[in-house]
């Protein structure tokens, strides 16, 4: 019994010593070949090389633990920097020389992440089917278990440093990326993510990708300078109604929070995207170019949107120092945008800085827009015009500031046309109403239904178009201001491009210091141009006015005006404000769009209060003619002007005037920049000159052509607004026929 007890004690002590020794481990190279064989068998496409292994007993799993330091391992021809390699083998299989693996733990040094990403066993952990790592380092621990089952269980935890990664082809790469990474139960997680997307800072507390569901979720935050966000314009333009190509000189700060929830197919293409985004912009400045630069400042906004087209945005901006608010909503991609705008704007200051526009000063506005895209929308607008001046020269109408008035309009636009379904201006009893007005993209009028005008006490008429019949009917029309304008600004106009017959019947038309009564007209309009017209009216004293447009023998359009009174139609020339009496005959031939020749003839008229003529007569010491001018006025039997207008430059072909006491000739040009350069002569005692001109042979030599004479005052007129006159005293006393003779040699 004692012998048995002793033997049993020795066995227990020996077993304890064996277990103790195995727990601390034994370093040996006897199992190298079997260990390498097992590694290469259970890790596909691997090669291993080890020097010695530490074999110990794992008391918790009752398995044999083999630790290998600094092994040399290649997987799929990629050398892996491994700090340690630990294998736990089934103890029973170890004694049977089968070495069945229960668990493998690999501790990595920092490795190039691209190298690890090419290893099949790590691909799931790195989701490399959808992610491309361009650079970076990865370190961590890899655990492989469940070798007895068909699928191995893989668990990884580590850290990514200084990485560059691409998630989507249409987005720039994320650089300087650092994050904790873990893979467990078919799910990869990134935590404490920091990096840069171009110049934008990127950070996230947690991003997860579930392999079997192919689902990416988590919250990513971006913030930085707005210019960096323009790298995403291809993505953002699908979500937000902005044409990024028209933006320039952008500055300001922006923040984007992306709450991701994306499902992919096996090729990593998006199947379903339920992500939500919130974009916050602070103190943005930008210029939006749409035919002209529109500058916006201090833009502060918040935008909530998703990939399904939902948008909710609210904010404020300044334009020309004026505050404006906006609200934008859309349910999904199939829905229209609902946009509300309100604030203060100066339309002329914003859109027509160097042009004439009927609405001056600031106005309050409220605009509601339904839009499918930038090119297609519907607008309901209300403009409060109380603090705005309204100027309509066509109707000699002026509404002053402080008078209550408003404009409401409804319009719609598509890629080809702009349609105004209602335009309604109201100010006390004044009305300007348009129903159904069609315009093209260049604001040319293509069609309309009804226009009603009741402005002031001198404008009451209606214009209607039924099929191709245009009818203008009314009691009064005031053209006073229009005819007094020396130069009409055509920078902003709605050019008509309509066709049809024309009939006009107006009881009274107000002209400068005159009135036409019973004006009747009929004609034809082609592409917005009057190609045929016959008009007739009387003045109050029953003298007549006649207006005609026709084709001449050359096939060109010819305008003819004959009026028993000249002054109402020459009121736009300030230097002719002293014109009295006289008949007017105008004939203009339009050769092309930029070329025309006009003849103007005025007969039996008086000139009085003409500053330029007074100055010339004074310097030339023609006191007799000056006395007449300052009295009743100088009588002219005839004045004739023929000029060519080419590309807005006027060139005088022939100009003269003849009367009993004075004659004149003028030549020169007026440039497209309004610079006047004229020269000519005044000839006194024109009746005597006409008698001498009738003498055969020598008459025309001595007196020259009509308007010239034996003696005369030579003058020049130059300038733009303030015309300067110059008289040559030597030429004044030199006989005109000698001046003409000498000018031949000068030429």
pLDDT at 397: 93
Spatial contact of 203 and 193, defined as CB atoms under 8 Å apart: yes
Q: Is the pLDDT of residue 459 over 80?
A: yes
In degrees rounded to 5, what are phi and psi of residue 142?
A: -115, 125
Contacts of 26 (CB under 8 A, 6+ apart): 54, 55, 56
Pairing type for strands 676-684 and 595-607 reads: unpaired
How much is the average pLDDT of 67-91?
Answer: 74
Measured distance CA(342)–CA(411) in Å, rounded: 17
Cα distances (Å, whole numbers) of residue 635 to 514, 581, 691? 22, 10, 18
The CA distance from 346 to 349, in Å, is 5
CATH of 2-113, one of 3.30.70, 3.10.450, 1.10.3470, 3.30.1180: 3.10.450
Q: Name beta bridge partners: 589.
A: 558, 597
> Is the distance from CB of 236 to CB of 228 less than 8 angstroms?
no
Q: What is the pLDDT of residue 474?
A: 93
pLDDT of residue 454: 96
Stronger pLDDT, 718 or 454, i.e. the higher one: 454
The span from the CA of 133 to the CA of 163, in Å, is 7
Per-residue b or e along 669-698, where b marks 16 or more CB atoms closer than 10 Å to that residue's CB = ebeeeeebebebbbbbbbeebbebbeeeee
Strand, coil or helix: 114: helix
Q: How far apart are CA 564 and CA 516, in angstroms?
A: 12
Residue spans of beta strands (DSSP E) within 467-578: 469-478, 500-511, 514-526, 529-539, 544-551, 557-563
Gyration radius (Cα) of the chain, Å: 47
How much is the pLDDT for 585? Answer: 94
**For the chain, which residues make up each domain, given as ranges?**
2-113, 608-746
Residue 76 pLDDT > 90, yes or no?
Answer: no
pLDDT value for 281: 87
Q: How far is CA 255 from the centre of its chain?
A: 24
CA dist 672 and 294 (Å) reads 29
For residue 150, the model assigns a pLDDT of 59
pLDDT band, very low/low/confident/very high, at 504 (cuts 50, 70, 90)? very high
Bridge partners (DSSP) listed for residue 718: 677, 724
CA distances from 94 to 39, 55, 60, 89 (A): 15, 11, 17, 7
pLDDT at 293 over 90: no
The yes-or-no verdict on residue 189 having pLDDT over 60 is yes
In the beta sheet, which residues pair with residue 264? Answer: 270
* Three-state SS annotation for 680-732: EEEEECHHHHHHHHCCCCHHHHHHCCCCCCCCCEEEEEEECCCCEEEECHHHH
Lowest average pLDDT, out of 79-83, 130-134, 423-427, 617-621, goes to 617-621
Q: Looking at the chain, how many residues does it have? A: 747
Residue 656: the pLDDT is 85
Q: What is the pLDDT of residues 47-71, one digit of tens each?
A: 777 777 777 666 555 667 777 777 7
């Amino acid at each position: 019994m004692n012998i048995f007890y002793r033997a049993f004690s020795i066995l227990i002590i020996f077993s304890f010593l064996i277990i103790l020794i195995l727990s601390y481990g034994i370093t040996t190279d006897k199992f190298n070949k079997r260990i390498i064989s097992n590694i290469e068998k259970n890790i596909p496409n691997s090669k291993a090389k080890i020097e010695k292994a530490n074999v110990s007993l794992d008391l918790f799993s009752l398995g044999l633990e083999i630790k290998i330091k600094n092994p040399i391992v290649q997987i799929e021809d990629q050398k892996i920097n491994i700090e340690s390699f630990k294998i736990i083998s089934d103890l029973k299989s170890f004694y049977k020389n089968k070495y069945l693996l229960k668990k493998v733990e690999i501790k990595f040094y920092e490795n190039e992440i691209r190298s690890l990403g090419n290893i099949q066993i790590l691909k799931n952990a790195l989701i490399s089917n959808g992610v491309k790592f361009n650079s970076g380092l990865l370190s961590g621990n890899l655990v492989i278990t469940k070798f007895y089952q068909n699928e191995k269980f893989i668990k990884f935890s580590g850290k990514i440093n200084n990485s560059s990664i691409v998630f989507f082809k249409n987005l720039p790469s994320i650089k300087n990326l650092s994050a904790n990474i873990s893979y467990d139960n078919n799910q990869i997680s990134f935590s404490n993510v920091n990096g840069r997307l171009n110049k934008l800072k990127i950070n996230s507390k947690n991003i997860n990708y579930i392999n079997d569901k192919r689902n990416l979720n988590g919250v990513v935050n971006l913030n930085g300078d707005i210019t960096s966000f323009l790298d995403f314009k291809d993505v953002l333009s699908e979500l937000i109604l902005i044409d990024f190509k028209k933006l320039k000189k952008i500055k300001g700060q922006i923040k984007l929070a992306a709450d991701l929830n994306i499902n992919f197919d096996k090729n990593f293409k998006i199947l379903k995207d339920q992500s939500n985004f919130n974009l916050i912009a602070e103190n943005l400045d930008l210029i939006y170019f749409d035919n002209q630069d529109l500058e916006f400042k201090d833009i502060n906004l918040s935008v909530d949107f998703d990939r399904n087209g939902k948008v909710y945005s609210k904010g404020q901006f300044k334009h020309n120092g004026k505050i404006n608010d906006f609200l934008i909503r859309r349910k999904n991609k199939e829905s229209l945008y609902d946009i509300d705008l309100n604030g203060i704007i100066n339309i002329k200051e914003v859109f027509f800085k160097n042009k004439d526009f009927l609405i001056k000063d600031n106005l309050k506005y409220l605009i509601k827009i339904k839009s499918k895209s930038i090119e297609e929308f519907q607008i309901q607008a209300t403009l409060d015009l109380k603090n705005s001046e309204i100027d309509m020269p066509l109707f000699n109408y002026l509404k002053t500031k402080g008078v209550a008035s408003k404009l409401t309009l409804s319009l719609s636009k598509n890629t080809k046309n702009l349609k105004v379904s209602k335009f309604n201006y109201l100010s006390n009893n004044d009305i300007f109403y348009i129903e159904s007005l069609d315009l093209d993209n260049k604001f040319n009028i293509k069609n309309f239904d009804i226009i009603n005008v009741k402005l002031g006490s001198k404008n009451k008429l209606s214009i209607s178009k039924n099929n191709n019949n245009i009818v203008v009917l009314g009691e009064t029309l005031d053209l006073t201001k229009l005819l007094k304008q020396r130069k009409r600004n055509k920078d902003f106009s709605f050019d008509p491009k309509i066709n049809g017959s024309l009939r006009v019947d107006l009881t009274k038309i107000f002209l400068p210091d005159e009135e036409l009564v019973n004006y009747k007209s009929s004609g034809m309009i082609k592409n917005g141009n009057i190609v045929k017209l016959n008009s007739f009216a009387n003045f109050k004293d029953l003298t007549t006015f006649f207006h005609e447009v026709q084709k001449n023998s050359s096939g060109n359009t010819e305008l003819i005006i004959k009026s028993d009174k000249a002054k109402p139609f020459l009121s736009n020339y300030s230097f002719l404000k002293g014109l009295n009496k006289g008949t007017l005959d105008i004939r203009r031939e339009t050769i092309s769009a930029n070329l025309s020749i006009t003849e103007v003839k005025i007969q039996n008229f008086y000139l009085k209060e003409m500053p330029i003529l007074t100055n010339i007569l004074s310097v030339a010491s023609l006191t007799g003619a000056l006395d007449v001018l300052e009295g009743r006025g100088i009588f002219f039997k005839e004045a004739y002007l023929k000029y060519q207008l080419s590309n807005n430059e006027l060139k005088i072909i022939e100009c003269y005037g003849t009367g009993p006491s004075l004659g004149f000739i003028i030549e020169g040009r007026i440039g497209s920049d309004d610079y006047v350069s004229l020269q000519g002569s005044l000839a006194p005692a024109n009746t005597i000159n006409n008698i001498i001109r009738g003498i055969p042979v020598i008459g025309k030599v001595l007196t020259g052509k009509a308007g010239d004479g034996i003696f005369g005052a030579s003058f020049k007129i130059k300038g733009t607004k303030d015309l300067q006159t110059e008289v040559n005293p030597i030429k004044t006393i030199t006989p005109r026929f000698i001046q003409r003779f000498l000018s031949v040699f000068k030429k």
